[in-house]
Amino acid sequence: MTTNSEVVTLRGRGLGGGIAEGEALVTKQFFGFTHGVIPATGEISDERHEWRGLNLKGKIIVFPKGKSSSSGGVWILETARCENLPAAIVNVEAEAITGSGCIFARLLYNKKIPLVDRLDQDPCDVIRTGDIVRVDGDAGVVEILKRVGGSRPA
């Protein structure tokens, strides 16, 4: 992790191309799209998740790893079709289901969801909910542009 002025930069592995900027939504819980998101609205519906009732549309979602059945990629694809995707995904370690959903969304609907993992610091510890973050899925870089006083994950 490097700090330049007030920008905090994390470097890792870029998996999903493109660049996105937005407000971070951070959890230390695993997260899955299958039965966890309502594609038509982007609302998080998983009753066991702390994000329940929040909306992921346009957010930079930060979580350790995906949890899902093999249909998770299809749920991401349906969320893309309904135009309710997160702006980007940042993981400690991405798994194939989330990655395939990002690829499907790009191939079928031309929706880029930058995906970055294996960062030099745990993003769930460094990024806070409410921070303004830029994710470069080509370079594998995550920048915290502005701290807005959000809470640290539990």
CATH number at residue 134: 3.50.30.10
Which residue segment(s) compose the domain that 78 sits in?
A: 2-146
Residue 14 lies in a domain: yes
> Which are the catalytic amino acids?
69
Residue 12 lies in a domain: yes
Residue 64 lies in a domain: yes
The kind and range of the H/E element at 35 are: none
Residue 153 lies in a domain: no
pLDDT at position 149 is: 65
- As a whole number of angstroms, the distance between CA 117 and CA 127 comes to 13
Residue 20 sits at φ, ψ, to 5 deg, of -140, 155
pLDDT at position 4 is: 46
Residue 68 lies in a domain: yes
Residue 154 lies in a domain: no
For residue 143, pLDDT over 60 is answered with yes
The structural domain count of the chain equals 1
Query: Average of pLDDT values for 104-118?
Result: 94
Model confidence pLDDT, tens digit, residues 9-67: 999 999 978 999 999 999 999 999 999 999 999 999 999 999 999 999 999 999 999 98
Query: Average of pLDDT values for 118-147?
Result: 97
Among 56-60, 114-118, 144-148, where is mean pLDDT lowest? 144-148
- As a whole number of angstroms, the distance between CA 60 and CA 89 comes to 6
